[in-house]
Amino acid sequence: MTADSGNAKLIRTKEQLAQNGRSITGIIGDRRKDRLPPGQHLVKDFPVLDLGKQPNMLPKDWALSAAGEISRPFKWNWRDFMAQPQVEITSDIHCVTTWSRYGNRWKGVGARHFLAEVQPKPNASFLMVRGYDGYATNVPLSWLDDDDVLFAHTWNGAPLAREHGGPVRLVIPKLYFWKSAKWIRHITFMDKDAPGYWEALGYHDVGDPWKEERYG
Ligand SMILES: Nc1nc2c(c(=O)[nH]1)N[C@H]1C(S)=C(S)[C@@H](COP(=O)(O)O)O[C@H]1N2
Ligand SMILES: [Mo]
């Protein structure tokens, strides 16, 4: 995968952070008690982080498909997606580069509804989530299967901006934000785990912020 020069520096920095094991406090947090995970600081703005290619996907050209360990091939185009039951969820963002952003109001389709439609086979236990920019990240199925996980098309009352993954991105609030794929395109249900883009470069397989699963 290539990145343009604008983001090449950021990508190199993040690779080096993983190599050096930076930003580890050694504190184990408690999600039920501590809103801010260890080693994080609050921001009010909404930083943009990606590989430097921001696909210009129009809703009419967008679709989410799934394959692998599922009963039959699956695809939602924009019209299908918007016809599904809609949920509104307010959640916090925790990025592994140590910024956190509280109180994001997301609207979209809940992951549990998606899973009920897709019907994963009993042996499905990991997902590879892919974006239209070529990005990929792996997630255990158990972490997608949660009531605060959604495929979001709206952020704070407005259509999700292109730079934040519009028309549709995944949002998994209980994991570091690199697991929340922007411009979501495809989900492969797998019976075995495999690393995505950042995971292959030294970032953690799961990525629980309260356990500071940044690297490893
Ligand atoms: N498709 C795609 N999704 C992605 C990324 C990416 O490069 N491509 N970057 C990830 C990373 S590292 C982070 S921190 C968040 C950033 O989301 P934001 O730009 O909306 O803050 O998106 C994640 N999802
Ligand atoms: Mo990130």
What is each CA distance from 6 to 3, 202, 207, in whole angstroms? 8, 22, 26
What residues make up the domain containing 35?
A: 3-46+56-211
Question: Which CATH number characterizes residue 103's domain?
Answer: 3.90.420.10
Distances (CA, A) of 149 to 22, 194, 200: 28, 21, 24
Question: Does residue 15 belong to any structural domain of this protein?
Answer: yes
Residue nearest to atom 13 of ligand 1 (CA): 178
Give the total number of structural domains in the chain: 1
On whether the CB atoms of residues 66 and 188 are closer than 8 A, the answer is yes
Say how far residue 120 (Cα) sits from the centre of its chain.
19
Please give the radius of gyration of the chain, using alpha carbons only, rounded to the nearest integer: 16
What is the position in ligand 1's atom list of the atom closest to the CA of 165? Answer: 20
Residue 3's pLDDT is 46
- Which one of 92, 127, 180 would you pick to mutate in the ligand 1 pocket, going by the greatest count of ligand atoms within 8 A of its CB? 180
The response to whether residue 164 sits with its C-beta less than 6 Å from ligand 1 reads: yes
pTM: 0.95
Q: From the CB of residue 40, how many other CB atoms can be counted at a distance below 10 Å?
A: 26
Q: From the CB of 48, is ligand 1 less than 6 Å away?
A: yes
**Ligand 1 center from residue 24 Cα (angstroms):** 21
10-residue mean pLDDT series, the chain (216 residues): 65 82 86 96 98 97 98 96 98 98 98 98 98 98 98 98 98 98 98 98 97 95
**51 occurs within a structural domain:** no
In a domain? residue 216? no
Helix (H) or strand (E) holding 127: strand 126-131
Task: Examine residue 26 and state whether it is found in any structural domain, yes or no.
Answer: yes
Peptide bond before 167: cis, by omega within 30 degrees of 0?
yes
pLDDT of residue 48: 98
Which residue is it, tokens 């599904």? 84
Question: What is the Cα–Cα distance from 110 to 88, expressed in whole angstroms?
Answer: 9
Question: Does residue 8 sit within a domain?
Answer: yes
In contact, 206 and 143? CB cutoff 8 Å: yes
At 67 the pLDDT is 98
Residue 132 Cα: closest atom of ligand 1: 1
Helices (H) and strands (E) in the chain, counts: 5, 11
Pocket flag, ligand 1, residue 57 (CB < 6 Å): no
Place of tokens 């605060």: 148
Task: Answer yes or no: are the C-beta atoms of 23 and 39 closer than 8 Å.
Answer: yes
DSSP string covering 68-125: ESBSS-EEEEHHHHHTSPPEEEEEEEE-TTSEEEEEEEEEEEEHHHHHHHH-B-TT--
Q: Is residue 30 in a domain?
A: yes
